[in-house]
Amino acid sequence: MFQKILDDTSAPAEGEKEVAALTAGDRVPWARARQQFFRKGVNETSLDWIEKVRRCVRNPLCAVPSNAENAEENRKKRTS
């Protein structure tokens, strides 16, 4: 699978070329920023949705939870 990606010579889609810049840096600053800015509130919710949708993009049989399910899951995480 990875070789197919590496061998792909097609032009990147709009915005796709810049995505690598978001993941090319050292992991430690990213982890610290995540701890500082994405542990609560709208940022936590947004990141949670992005991660869930990302998993579903890779697995078309995945179901993205509703807002109610997502809120309940986040509440459980905070109280455990």
Domain layout of the chain by residue ranges: 22-79
Q: What is the mean pLDDT of residues 45-64?
A: 76
Q: What is the mean pLDDT of residues 58-75?
A: 63
Q: What is the mean pLDDT of residues 51-77?
A: 67
CA gap 39, 46 in Å, rounded:
11
74 touches 44 (CB < 8 A): yes
Residue 22 has what pLDDT? 65
SS3 state of residue 2: helix
pLDDT digits (tens, 9 = 90+) for 5-39: 778 898 887 777 776 666 677 888 888 988 999 98
